Structure 1
Amino acid sequence: MEVRLADNVIAVGGATSGLGLAITERLIEEGAIVLGFARSRDKLKALATKHGDRFISHPADTQDNIAVRKLGEAMIDYKIAGCVFNTGGPPTGSVSELSMQDWDTAYASTLRWKIALTGHLLPMFRKRKSGKLLYLESVSIKQPIDNLVLSNTMRAAVAGFVKTLSREEGENGIRANILAPGYHATSRITAVLDKAAQLKDASRETVEKEFLAGVPTGKMGNPDDFAAMAAFLLSPLAEYITGQTISVDGGLVRHITG
């Protein structure tokens, strides 16, 4: 299916690894130009070398307020058509083992920068009467995951922000949605599985089987398939979709609406 993204500039966070990298590669395949942001200069440089003028490198630490402002300015200069808000998730942990510093850091890394960067982009999108905002979160928005209280809490806050944003900005042509991945074959799920194995004093293989027992498809998600959904939501084909949290989880979430 042609998603009509040729020569659109799309910003992608966490562009150098995991789901962010898969989305970057898919968008370029669809003819878009990607403004990729991440902390690793070397990995960004490698992508720029690989894709040439189809990839714009922008090193940025999203927990640095000045860096976020400069990132927003760069996106405005390049007249982006959409933005994928994505970085690594907060660390694993239970309520009893986390400090207030952990909570403050999770707020900065999972919620605050997304609100700030969105604020930088809205005036441009309002003036243009179009703009796609896509937030990569987790199925923990819909169904809390054990030992991930920081993610469960902060990503739910993102959902409240995005739903409100979609209602306030819909008449301005701005579309805001969330993609909520389940268990995909990335370094993030590796960390979650390793932590669970440690807590249970079990093998990694045993824990992975336990996790997948709750997934009707019985397997980890393919990041490339996830990226296809992201490309669709960033495209003109998704013009009438906004304010949604869409699970891509192999059927993991048990709620009747998914």
Structure 2
Amino acid sequence: MNQDATRPAATDFMSTPSMFGAPCWVSLTSRDLEATMDFYHALLGWTWRPARLGEHFRVALSDGRPVAGIAAVAAMWQMAVAWTPYFAVPSANEAASRVRERGGTVAVGPISLTPGRAALLADRDGATFGVWEGELASDWESWRSSAPAFIRLHTRDAFDAAIFYGEVLDWATGGAGCCEVVYEGGEVVLRSFGDPVARIESGALEAAPDPSIRPHWQVHFSVADVAACARAAEEHGGSVLSKGAEEAVLRDRDGAQFTVTSRQEP
């Protein structure tokens, strides 16, 4: 297999965004780089190019645009196999400090990378997320149009979670480029420049927090054919956890969970 693109790694990152607090990237930790690349190429048509971080890393391309990162370090670094969203911040150090002050956890970093600084964090309920300070792997609008449809936090108390993330990521502060937070359709919705970019849900508005929920961020990828993606997942060593007409919850061959959502054509 040779799905690596020939464009140089020097183009991995673009200009610093004018927004902050919004999701700006998603990354997958896996055990087997080649197997993971094969799986997502078959499922989503992604091709690959080398990343600046070394031989265990790749950047996924959709129609030539960077959309996600793969890090085959789960076994090496004793990390969970999972998809993780990253949020753009002015300062990774400040975001990490805010997480600690509010009862969350700093798992990794902040660390300096060639184009910026990153940290891997967890909120008060254990849901893992990252923050990124610096240049982005793709123009933000291009990434939004060709990468995940959105991300959703499944948690025990949506309003408590919204307060935590709002304080860490400066949501609804009124500054230029910050995100707006609204409640609609039974969920807390994060909007950036008017577009919904993340959702937080915990069940019915008046329901008590559900102790059975394992809080986590779920990445939703926009696809043309949900049923075809579900079949491809099973044919290439993954599994289907649930499936409907508009979306399916899948696991890749390493065990990372994600959702494919029907693309709404204009």
> What TM-score, normalized to structure 2?
0.31
TM-score by length of 1: 0.31
